[in-house]
Amino acid sequence: KAGVTQTPRYLIKTRGQQVTLSCSPISGHRSVSWYQQTPGQGLQFLFEYFSETQRNKGNFPGRFSGRQFSNSRSEMNVSTLELGDSALYLCASTRDRGNTGELFFGEGSRLTVL
Amino acid sequence: AQSVTQLDSQVPVFEEAPVELRCNYSSSVSVYLFWYVQYPNQGLQLLLKYLSGSTLVKGINGFEAEFNKSQTSFHLRKPSVHISDTAEYFCALHGPNNNDMRFGAGTRLTVKP
């Protein structure tokens, strides 16, 4: 069974640009969550999608957005990039609502903003 | 509000020595507790979880953790560590009505030969 797949693994952008990251969850998982990981702030929750609907959102500015498609694949977008957006962006999937919360993580997309 | 505190940011230890990584949590309701491990340039992998029942939970790679409700703790232990255990370890909690996982700041375990 394939794990959570994130693309691209590495990317470099400049300030002011935008970026789109992709996440394919484990087959059968309908919930996808996104996290930002930085050395200073640790793991911070961005948002969670279930059946194409955003169910929960963390405390990030509106420049951070996401969506989920009917096949449960998810994308997140960051517009008007800032230096502080440099981070490892992790995607995780779970089976469905009401579960125990066990997350299955991808390997992440490492974004560097210059 | 629910939160997780990992008491040590870094833990250096020699190979074959025992180790304990400490985690305290705060919650007014019952929670599920987890330990995840992150190796360099990788995502997080589940080590073990406490949902209910026995307070001693065994996980992969010889790790175990004990849920202590009175102390609101969920410390991770291993009796004898290997070089390959060098990684970042995260304690996390998930509430019954939450849709997000709350993570601690992480503990970097470094195993020295």
- Chain B closest CA to A109's CA: distance in Å? 10
Euclidean distance between the first and the last CA atom of chain A, given in angstroms as a whole number: 37
Residues of B in contact with A92 (CB under 8 A): 43-44
Q: Which of residues 51-110 of B touch A (CB under 8 A)?
A: 51, 90, 94, 98-106
Q: Is B9 in a helix, a strand, or coil?
A: coil
**Residue where the block lists tokens 């175990």:** B64
Candidates B88, B74, B32; CA nearest to A99 is B32
Residue holding tokens 């008007």?
A: A80
pLDDT tens string B12-29: 999 999 999 999 999 888
Q: Which residues make beta-bridge pairs with B97?
A: none
Token pair listed for A74:
């998810």
Q: Which residues of A touch B36 (CB under 8 A)?
A: 103, 105
If you ran DSSP here, which 8-state letter would residue B92 be given?
Answer: E
User: By percentage, how much of chain B surpasses pLDDT 90?
Assistant: 75
Residue B104 pLDDT class (50, 70, 90 cuts): very high
Q: Does B46 touch chain A (CB under 8 A)?
A: yes
At residue A40, the pLDDT reads 84
Question: Which residues of chain A neighbour B10 with C-beta distances below 8 Å?
Answer: none
Angle at B40 between CA B36 and CA B56, to 5 degrees: 20
A90 CB neighbours in chain B (<8 A) are 43-44
- Residue pair A21/A85 in contact (Cβ under 8 Å)? The answer is no
State pLDDT tens for residues B28-50: 888 889 999 999 888 999 999 99
Whether the pLDDT of residue B103 is over 60: the answer is yes
